[in-house]
Structure 1
């Protein structure tokens, strides 16, 4: 069974993702940056022990719709 905590990007892909997020962040409005930050914090809190995410992909898909 695959658990969210088993996920890991390789170092090269993570570095590229982080660089792109930081590059894009300077172009976001304050509201967009807060939305993105809040979304990442929610995912982090859900990954704490005792707080499993049953359908994380569905949550992320719903959350991304708010960036329109």
Structure 2
């Protein structure tokens, strides 16, 4: 199993990014907001164990269903 990659923005950078996203979200259509939300959720799925974002196959290989 691979070691997780540590990712983090400086708190001040994250705060500015979050503020800008929230400001822009007011202007988005429902469809645009859903698209952005789904894109962020997709990034979370690619970070699951065994599907690291750095693995190019993670972008195209189907996700296994394990319940």
Fold conserved (TM > 0.5)? Answer: yes
Q: Is the 8 A contact 1:25 1:33 kept in 2?
A: yes
CA RMSD of aligned residues (A): 2.0
Q: Please, which runs of 5 or more residues in structure 2 have no aligned partner?
A: 60-67
Q: How far apart, CA to CA, are the structure 1 residues paired with 2:4 and 2:32? A: 25
Indicate how the Cα distance of structure 1 residues 39 and 4 shifts in structure 2: closer, same or farther if over 3 A, else same. farther
Cα distance in 2 for partners of 1:4, 1:32 equals 31
Larger radius of gyration: 2
3-state DSSP class of the match of 1:31? helix
Q: How far does the alpha carbon of each residue in 1:29-60 deviate from its partner, in whole angstroms, 9 at most, with x for none?
A: 011000000000000111011111225xxx7x
TM-score, normalized by length of structure 2? 0.70
Choose between structure 1 and 2 for higher RCO, CA contacts under 8 A separated by at least 6 residues. Answer: 1
Structure 1 residue 5, shift from structure 2 partner: 3.0
